[in-house]
Structure 1
Amino acid sequence: MNKHNGNVGRVSASVTRQAPDASVTENVGLRCANPTYGAEFQKTNLGQLITFANGKSCPERFDNAKFAVFGANGLIGKANESNSPSNSIVVGRVGTYCGAVHFSRQACWVTDNAIKATVKEDNDPSYLFYLLKHLNLNNWRSGSGQPLINQSTLNAIEVRVPLPIEQKSIGSFVGALDDRITLLRETNATLEAIAQALFKSWFVDFDPVHAKQQGREPEGMDEATAALFPDSFEESELGLLPRGWMVSNCQKVIDVRDGTHESPKPAFSGYPLITSRHITGGKICFDDTYLIADQDYENISKRSKVHRFDVLITMIGTVGIPVIVLDEQTEFAIKNIGLFKTSATPFLSHYLYLLLSSSKMQQYLEARLAGTTQKYLSLKALREISLLIPPDSVMAVFSEIISPVFEKIHQNNCEAQTLANLRDTLLPRLISGQLRLPEAEILIKETQ
């Protein structure tokens, strides 16, 4: 599917991926030297490159412990002991995540659901980590019931690899892309925490109102903003609230809908269908969506057309995950997803998103789940959410402060996606030797 910076419209399965956005390739950190590529890739097997060993039972875990603990599905906690050195590769050994590959730069503990892998001689751990990911080790699993992969199988897998100096350069090159993606995600987590802190201060703890009630100036705001808050509280159905602020349910303030509950057939060309599993980490992930026909898209859009600044929330599966739609291009359909039509009043979108993300609201939604085998949120439950409604003047100032934060989060998400696309495009060709590192660097420079 063709995607660029998260903007998605009608696409055809025959359309090729666009070139990376030049603006996000700056400062990626192309930090590796350009070796002389005289030698061809050599045929060998993983056992000649890596030492594989099963992990051990998980020790007691502590939140503030020193060493990361890895299971088949990645990081699962921390412990005060380690059983694998720095630059360890971790391979899922059994179960659903059999063949999954993870990497730890620091010493860590690998549990008995995984295999720890350490490189031999001068081979580069980063390169071999990417090689194992590229191999899709789940294809080598055995077992009719519980999927399993063992050391003997891994040792025998035949591969072609370059000399260690070239391995190191490739590993450093791809690692720089991953480091940048990680930094962007960490930055977004910090930005969201800042937004949540302000939301909590103003609309949960009511810090400005308490300050004025006690004769103090509210912290962190100018005189004009402080004047927008009252200096006393009054009783309401939600408890003590700032005087003059209103309480209502969602459907009286916002048009609340949901997407289709049918399963349109996949089409060769058309529009992406977004389900609950495609909303994660504060963004919509289009990577494994399928296309639906134009007519199906039009039928779904009659009820639940998504626009910029609408808020979506998952209703089935992993329930209650919200996201603000910040892309200009919104030509996709939704299934089993709640739709809050805040696009008509954008200042409400940030407020509603932060409310839905808050721990208090997550507990509220959890208590209203229905279903036995598969939990779900009903449209009725979404419409009946109780909302605190501050004056428009307060909401407008809040939105003015918060909007740039969310725009930056959106930009970072787009940059991270472009870098991931770049990595996923170049990695197979670098690993196979079809593309050499100087050529990859030239391709990147041509997009700048």
Structure 2
Amino acid sequence: MTWQTKQLSEVLEYEQPTPYIVSSKNYRDDYKTPVLTAGKSFILGRTKEKTGIFPSKDLPVIIFDDFTTATKFVDFPFKVKSSAMKILRPAKNISDAKFLFYMIQNITFDHTGIHKRYWISEYSKIEVPFPSISEQKRIVKKLDKVFENVTIAKENAEKNLQNSKELFESYLQSVFAKPGKDWEETSLGDAYDVRDGTHDSPRYQKEGYALVTSKNLKRDLLNFDKIKYISEKDYQKINERSKVDKGDILFAMIGTIGNPVVVEVEPNFAIKNVALFKIPKEQNAYFLKYFLDSKFVIDKMMSEAKGTTQKFVGLGYLRSFKIKLPPLLGQKVIVKKLESLSLETKKLEKIYEQKLADLEEFKKSLLNKAFKGEL
């Protein structure tokens, strides 16, 4: 069967979303009409507004983010958040909306670096292979069937991934929820030397000494991908009060509170808006790390944190925060068990993450075959 070559503008008609923009952001789950974005979140909420709703008779359509080129297939009445999109309809009698949605998923389009609207200026001019309407429907039927199974497989993998994470968190929670009789209650400030980094804003430069902030603390590690650099003078000044040594623990105090990291290499950086725990010989750094990483500690800190736009916990608060500590030998035994379970959990997470990646790759390869006429 011969496929023609057409521009997207020949097979898709666009409509501006202005008539369907929601007036109020007062969303509630029990309201009827969903408010959409073409981004990852898709359904932002539901509105009770009864006018300006995209009509059922014109469905289905594709909503297209004019700036990121993200798309969503929509087959129900809706309103939209903003004008930063186009509503795309299939050209009558020659186009199937679902087919075109799948086709767009197979288009590679680089929109990095330039913030502008793309549909009219560039995207609509992309040329695509285009079969008859009957062939479009045949392809859609096949893809729908396979993707339904892929969706189920992804949901199972995501559930298993979440379960593996919750298994470790559950055990971690139980460790600190049921302290032994030989555990003694104290405060973080009494058990450890608790400091924090600078709160000033030193001048950044292209190279020099790294300045670690809360944004650089990730799960169990320091991330230097978007690190900023300071002069040697500023580095030395900051380190007069908060020099980081191997074996210390760093803890995010602002924004995403938590993400404790044990410093396992000789550091050559300074810290800003980050708590610093120096561990005495009678304590175990990893025991404290697991304590600070536990859900009940983070939940308590977040509920008691100050600030409105950006939550934070102060140095005084951290020093006074209560902790129950077993003797050093007991800490080491607990850490060994937690590390063993953590290792197994991470193995499971890698398996499920790879499963999800494989499913996404399978979808891409199937779409590629479909639009080469090989399905």
Output the TM-score relative to the length of structure 2. 0.57
Confirm whether residue 101 of structure 1 aligns to residue 41 of structure 2.
Answer: no
Q: Which residue of 1 aligns with 2:187?
A: 249
Aligned counterpart, 1:402:
338
Partner amino acid, structure 2, of 1:362 = M
Distance 1:373 1:293, change over 3 A: closer
Asked if the contact 1:49–1:119 (Cα under 8 Å) also holds between the matched residues in 2, the reply is yes
Q: Does 1:135 align with 2:111?
A: yes
Matched residue of 1:289: which SS?
coil
Distance 1:84 1:396 in 2: 64
Instruction: State how far apart, in whole Å, the 2-side matches of 1:132 and 1:49 are.
Output: 18
Equivalent residue in structure 2 for 1:345, among 275, 282, 285: 285
Match of 1:197 among 147, 159, 170: 170
User: Which residue pairs with 1:112 in the alignment?
Assistant: 81
CA contact 2:188–2:194 (8 Å) conserved in 1: yes
**Is contact 1:64-1:78 (8 Å) kept?**
no
Tell me the equivalent position of 2:145. Answer: none
- Output one character per residue of 1:60-99: Cα deviation in whole Å (capped at 9) or x when no partner: 8556999975447642655599969999765457xxxx64
Aligned-partner Cα distance in 2 for 1:357–1:254: 17
Q: Distance in 1 between matches of 2:76 and 2:222?
A: 32
Q: Deviations over 1:250-271 (max 9, x none)?
A: 122234343454343123xx77
Deviation of 1:395 (Å): 4.2
Give the direction of change, closer, same or farther, for the CA distance of 1:336–1:129 in structure 2 (3 Å limit). farther
Q: Which amino acid aligns with 2:252?
A: T
Which string of whole-angstrom CA distances, capped at 9 and with x for unpartnered residues, describes residues 371-390 of structure 1? x8866433333233222324
Identity %: 19
Note if contact 1:306-1:333 (Cα within 8 Å) is conserved in structure 2.
no
Q: Spell out, residue by residue over 1:361-404, the C-alpha distance to the aligned partner (whole angstroms, 9 max, x if none).
A: 3212x14x5xx886643333323322232455654454344324
Structure 2 counterpart of 1:159: 126
* Greater mean alpha carbon deviation, residues 293-302 or residues 192-201: 293-302
Cα shift at 1:303:
1.3
- For 2:273 and 2:333, the matched residues in 1 are separated by 33
| TM-fit CA distance, 1:189 | 3.9
1:384 aligns with 2:320: yes
**What amino acid maps onto 2:101 in structure 1?**
P
Kindly name which structure, 1 or 2, has the bigger radius of gyration based on alpha carbons: 2
Change (3 A) 1:314 1:39: farther
> In 2 relative to 1, CA 331–138 (structure 1 residues): closer, same or farther, beyond 3 Å?
same
Relative to 1, partners in 2 of residues 1:248 and 1:287: Cα closer, same or farther, differing over 3 Å? Answer: closer
Letter aligned with residue 335 of structure 1: K
How far does residue 332 in structure 1 lie from its aligned partner after superposition? 6.6
Structure 2 runs not aligned, ≥5 long: 141-149, 370-375
Q: 1:354 to 1:305 in 2, by over 3 A?
A: same
Contact 2:35 2:47 in 1 (8 A): no
**Cα deviation, residue 354, structure 1:** 0.7
Q: CA RMSD in A?
A: 6.0
Q: Structure 1 residues 402, 273: CA separation in 2 closer, same or farther (over 3 Å shift)? A: same
CA contact (8 A) 2:37 2:44 kept: no
Aligned residue type for 2:183? W
Unaligned 5+ runs, structure 1: 1-37, 142-148, 169-176, 207-227, 231-243, 431-435, 438-448
